[in-house]
Amino acid sequence: MRWKTERMYFAAERLFVVAAIMYLTGAIFPVLKNPSHNFDVASASDPLAFALQFSVYAIAALFMIPIRGSLLEAYKKNPVLCCLLALILISFVWSPASLFTLRKSLVFMATTAFGFYFATRFKVEEQIRLVAYALGACAVLSVVFIVALPRFGVDLLQYHGAWRGVFYHKNTFGTYMALAMVSLLCLRTRTRAGQLARFVGVALSIVLVLGSQAKGSYVVMFALILLMFLYRLLHLYWKRLIPAATIALVLLGIGGIYVASNLPAVLAVLSKDASFSGRIPLWTTVLTLSESKRLLGFGFGGFWATNTYAVYSLVGWNASKAHNGFIDLLLDLGWVGVIIYAMNTVTAIFRSMKFVAREKTLESQWPLLVLSLILLYNLVESDLLVPNSFLWAAYVVVTVSMQRIAGESRVALRNELPGDSATNEFPGSEFEPCPQ
């Protein structure tokens, strides 16, 4: 009886996690609520959305109770990430919209707590499986929306037939389908039916990315495919890695020079102009307006809460974000926040590379690929520090998981060393020495 109860609990927990991931990606509900991109509808408060948000985090809190000790330990072992969280929490003190910043920060902490729970409760292999299930479900439902419910699944008004599936915007749709492709490629399957479903899912994800007409998602998807091959170099012994990495860097440098020297032609292929669809003037404007608060920024969300009209009057179009996650990070938390985020990210990347080098599997590349996707996507969009965003939750998951694995590796290494490191004794020292 107890075995059946535990099995039902584990099944319910995994089902909830899949549903929570779908919620954090912004699937289904936002596009059903506002398929025509009506700004008044998007900005209006919605009791149903609040109830859904509260329910997700309340259920997550219930699942956190049995592992509360492990969660507290995870927070203690990630001090740099916790410093960033503390800076966000106290930023309401200097924010020009203090109540808005405080409310947004609290929701952000709930999203972060879900990331800690996901990383602490499940190993990397299970994380990949659950993310693949959630995004695979989004892909299948997107096909249904595109074919049977084109009013919701196809953006007929703003982007003239671009697919958006179960997501509010085509860029979000393209990015999460690229993440679905990566997760399915890294997923380990043990049956032929599972392998077939995996390859069908990968092919479907690629088709959906192309149908989104999101040029940034095209670049991210092809970059991730290239990075999957480059990260395999980490499997090599270091004497072979150095020349292989040198050749790869030379080829990338040649490619970069070619793109830079033929930028107009490359932009024409991507149907972009030299301003990157107005992003460069926007970046210049917001950086100029924020010059007076570069150390600590305007507080979490404080800049856009008070300067949206000023930006609109200068650039001529409604912008509620910088369309660059790193610029929005600078606006929110200043150079202090940028430095803390950079420190945590570099540490997570280094630990992810060591994980790939040690495990030498495609599965082990998933954390590094997720980090790569987040960093690449935020060059042209703002989803770096966003409440109710799975990309932020995934960033936390990778950070916490890689710290845990690095700690376990150090413990295993100490256990493999001969003798007691404290007394410097070796096995067999309790026996009598051999007679001379």
| DSSP symbols for 18-57 | HHHHHHHTT-SHHHHH-TT--HHHHHS--HHHHHHHHHHH
CA 419 to CA 88: how far, in whole Å?
46
- What is the tally of structural domains in the chain? 1
Region 290-306 average pLDDT = 92
CA distances for 170 relative to 154, 213, 410, angstroms: 9, 7, 43
| pLDDT at 425 (0 to 100) | 43
| pLDDT at 86 (0 to 100) | 97
The verdict on residue 135 lying in a domain is yes
- Whether the pLDDT of residue 433 is over 60: the answer is no
User: pLDDT tier at 18 (50, 70, 90 boundaries)?
Assistant: very high
- Whether the pLDDT of residue 432 is over 50: the answer is no
State percent of the chain over pLDDT 90. 59
Region 159-178 average pLDDT = 92
The verdict on residue 86 lying in a domain is yes
| pLDDT at 426 (0 to 100) | 41
The verdict on residue 427 lying in a domain is no
Q: Which residues lie closer than 8 Å to 85 by C-beta, 6 or more apart?
A: 109, 112
Out of 49-53, 77-81, 215-219, 415-419, the most confident range is: 77-81
At 162 the three-state DSSP class reads strand
| pLDDT at 23 (0 to 100) | 96
| pLDDT at 45 (0 to 100) | 64
Instruction: Domain of residue 99: give its range.
Output: 2-36+54-411
The verdict on residue 416 lying in a domain is no
CA 83 to CA 95: how far, in whole Å?
18
- Using CA atoms in the order 244, 249, 250, 254, what is the torsion angle rounded to 10 degrees? 140
Region 362-372 average pLDDT = 94
The verdict on pTM exceeding 0.85 is yes
Name which of 94-108, 149-163, 269-283, 407-421 the model is least confident about.
407-421
Region 150-164 average pLDDT = 88
Q: Tokens standing for 385?
A: 């520090």
The verdict on residue 214 lying in a domain is yes
CA 134 to CA 141: how far, in whole Å?
11
At 164 the three-state DSSP class reads coil
The verdict on residue 432 lying in a domain is no
Name which of 140-154, 262-276, 393-407 the model is least confident about.
262-276
Region 208-229 average pLDDT = 91
User: pLDDT tier at 301 (50, 70, 90 boundaries)?
Assistant: very high
Provide the residue count of the chain. Answer: 436
The verdict on residue 425 lying in a domain is no
Tell me the one-letter amino acid at 309: Y
Q: Tokens standing for 328?
A: 């929005």
CA 280 to CA 285: how far, in whole Å?
9
Region 6-14 average pLDDT = 90
At 420 the three-state DSSP class reads strand
User: pLDDT tier at 395 (50, 70, 90 boundaries)?
Assistant: very high
The verdict on residue 430 lying in a domain is no
Region 345-349 average pLDDT = 94
- To which residue do tokens 């049977």 refer? 148
